[in-house]
Amino acid sequence: KAGVTQTPRYLIKTRGQQVTLSCSPISGHRSVSWYQQTPGQGLQFLFEYFSETQRNKGNFPGRFSGRQFSNSRSEMNVSTLELGDSALYLCASSLTDRVWNEQYFGPGTRLTVT
Amino acid sequence: QKEVEQNSGPLSVPEGAIASLNCTYSDRVSQSFFWYRQYSGKSPELIMSIYSNGDKEDGRFTAQLNKASQYVSLLIRDSQPSDSATYLCAVKDANFNKFYFGSGTKLNVKP
């Protein structure tokens, strides 16, 4: 079974631009979560989608948004990029939202903002 | 705000030794606990999940959970240089599909 895929893998953008990252979960998984990972802050939760609905949201500004499609694929968008947005963005998928749910990560998209 | 605490390390152990990684969490109602391994420049990889008090073994890995003490640990037996990585502890919210991660413990296994 194929794992979580993320595109693009690497991205270089300029301050003020916007970016869209894509995530395809493991086949059959309905939940997709997004994380930002930086050396200083570790893994920070951005948001989680389940059946096209955002159910959880972390403490990030409104410049960070996301959505999920009917096939469970998800996108996240960052508008008006800032230097501090440079990070590894990770997508993780889960089969359901049950207590025993395991979460599997994709390879990540490394975003560099110059 | 739920807290997941890990010693950042680095934890250095000789090849063949047992590596012991520890994690404490603040939310008493948490029910699901996970250990991830992350190699430098790579994404986290799920190693173990544990839901009940006690030990759970999988190959060279043993996860230990003590809900009364709000403590979860990971033991790696016969440590290999290839085990050198950062190990992340994660706790799942009891009511939502939201995971809280510790900052990770860096493990160095010396040949």
Q: Is the CB of A55 less than 8 angstroms away from the CB of B46?
A: no
Which of B32, B34, B49, B99 best tests the A interface by mutation, with the highest count of A CBs <10 A?
B99
Mean pLDDT of the residues in chain A: 94
Residue B98, token pair as written in the block: 């939201």
Please give the average per-residue pLDDT across A9-32, as a whole number. Answer: 97
- Please tell me the distance in Å from B7's CA to the nearest CA on chain A: 13
Q: What is the largest CA-CA distance in chain A?
A: 41
pLDDT of A98 higher than 80: no
DSSP A25: P
pLDDT of B1 higher than 90: no
**Residue pair A31/A95 in contact by the 8 Å Cβ criterion:** yes
Q: How far is it, in rounded angstroms, from Cα A72 to Cα A2?
A: 15
Give the pLDDT of residue A2.
Answer: 81
Residue B105, token pair as written in the block: 């413990």
Give the pLDDT of residue B95.
Answer: 74
Place of tokens 């008493």: B28
Q: State residue B109 phi and psi, 5-degree precision.
A: -105, 115
pLDDT of A96 higher than 90: no
Of the listed ranges A47-56, A60-69, B16-25, the least confidently predicted one is A47-56
Closest CA to B76 of B10, B6, B13: B13
Please give the average per-residue pLDDT across A80-86, as a whole number. Answer: 97
Percentage of chain A surpassing pLDDT 90?
85
β-strand B11-14 against B105-110: which pairing, if any?
parallel
Closest CA to A47 of B96, B103, B26, B5: B96
Q: Is the CB of B44 less than 8 angstroms away from the CB of A99?
A: no
Q: Is B52 on the interface with A (CB under 8 A)?
A: no
Give the pLDDT of residue A99.
Answer: 67
Please give the average per-residue pLDDT across B70-82, as a whole number. Answer: 97
Q: How far is it, in rounded angstroms, from Cα B104 to Cα B109?
A: 16
Q: State residue A69 phi and psi, 5-degree precision.
A: -95, 170
Q: Is the CB of B42 less than 8 angstroms away from the CB of A48?
A: no
pLDDT of B13 higher than 90: yes
Confidence of residue B9 (pLDDT cuts 50, 70, 90): confident
**Residue pair A75/A21 in contact by the 8 Å Cβ criterion:** yes
CB pairs under 8 A between A and B: 61
Nearest to B51 among A92, A100, A103 (CB): A100
Using CB atoms within 10 Å of the CB of residue A70, give its burial: 0 to 12 exposed, 13 to 18 middle, 19+ buried: exposed
Please give the average per-residue pLDDT across B25-37, as a whole number. Answer: 88
**Residue pair A113/A83 in contact by the 8 Å Cβ criterion:** yes
Percentage of chain B surpassing pLDDT 70?
98
Q: Is B40 on the interface with A (CB under 8 A)?
A: no
DSSP B1-20: ---EE-----EEEETTSPEE
Mean pLDDT of the residues in chain B: 93
**Residue pair B101/A43 in contact by the 8 Å Cβ criterion:** yes
Please give the average per-residue pLDDT across A72-83, as a whole number. Answer: 97
Confidence of residue B3 (pLDDT cuts 50, 70, 90): confident
β-strand B85-92 against B99-101: which pairing, if any?
antiparallel
Q: Is the CB of B49 less than 8 angstroms away from the CB of A100?
A: yes
